[in-house]
């Protein structure tokens, strides 16, 4: 496997580890108070799987990530993030270099996978509220001729706005939905972890692009 890919995933892991308590506290307000803990455990498992098979290609590596998250992350996040990475592996098949076009195709595949698995749409206080705007911003960046880094930066800005938007709406999915209007004022933990992943990849691209 490309060493850069391993380093990129390690950057995600470091961000999740750093923000573990923050994510867990967010989840404590409207969920099971375990999102950060689960995500950190998941990416620990991911790095174990990837380091054990350093020669697999990009697509196989993404599938491996998805399977590791599916089997090690508790709650709804495991199936959702697992599906996201496994779907992202499809457009990555046969590719060795991630450019803006491939990145957008992978993000779209991941987002659509989450929507299908979670039966979610934008406006329900989920990670879709961060990911769908991120994809749209990346797509526009490509149309405007922007570089991969510029597209990722635009995606992060849109995702951040999406996370802020989740504070203003009622949760319609998962445990948070039981709170009804009391969920207003709290940002969605899943949308937040999605933003963290995008920001980690953007930071990696900025330093290594």
Q: What is the pLDDT of residue 178?
A: 67
Give the tokens for residue 4: 């850069």
53 pLDDT band (50/70/90 cuts)? confident
CATH number of the domain encompassing residue 90: 1.25.40.340
Q: Would you say residue 1 has pLDDT above 70? A: no
Query: How large is the average pLDDT for residues 186-192?
Result: 95
User: Would you say residue 2 has pLDDT above 90?
Assistant: no
CA distances from 71 to 15, 41, 116, 173 (A): 21, 11, 19, 22
Confidence of residue 42 (pLDDT cuts 50, 70, 90): very high
Give the structural domain span for 15.
3-208
Token pair of 97, please? Answer: 């270099």
- Arithmetic mean of pLDDT, 44-73: 93
Q: What is the mean pLDDT of the chain?
A: 94
Q: How far is it, in rounded angstroms, from Cα 205 to Cα 209?
A: 5
Number of domains in the chain: 1
Model confidence over 134-174: pLDDT tens digits?
999 999 999 999 999 999 999 999 999 999 999 999 998 77
Token pair for 143: 């149309």
Does residue 62 register a pLDDT over 90? Answer: yes
Share of the chain above pLDDT 90, in %: 83
* Model pLDDT, residue 160: 98
30-58 mean pLDDT: 92
Q: How far apart are CA 90 and CA 163, in angstroms?
A: 27
Q: How many CB atoms lie within 10 A of CB 51?
A: 11
């Amino acid at each position: 496997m490309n060493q850069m890919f391993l380093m990129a995933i390690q950057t995600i892991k470091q961000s999740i580890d750093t923000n573990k308590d923050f994510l867990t506290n967010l989840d404590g307000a409207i969920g099971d108070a375990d999102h950060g803990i689960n995500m950190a455990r998941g990416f620990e498992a991911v790095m174990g799987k990837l380091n054990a098979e350093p020669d697999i290609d990009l697509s196989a590596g993404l599938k491996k990530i998805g399977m590791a998250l599916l089997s090690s992350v508790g709650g709804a996040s495991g199936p959702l993030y697992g599906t996201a990475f496994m779907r992202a592996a499809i457009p990555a098949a046969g590719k060795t270099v991630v450019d803006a076009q491939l990145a957008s195709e992978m993000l779209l595949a991941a987002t659509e996978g989450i929507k299908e698995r979670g039966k979610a749409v934008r406006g329900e206080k989920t990670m879709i509220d961060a990911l769908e705007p991120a994809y749209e911003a990346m797509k526009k960046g490509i149309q405007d001729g922007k570089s991969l880094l510029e597209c990722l930066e635009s995606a992060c800005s849109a995702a951040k706005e999406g996370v802020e938007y989740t504070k203003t709406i009622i949760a319609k999915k998962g445990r948070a939905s039981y709170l009804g209007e009391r969920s207003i004022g709290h940002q969605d933990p899943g949308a937040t972890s999605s933003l963290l992943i995008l920001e980690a990849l953007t930071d990696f691209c900025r330093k290594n692009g």
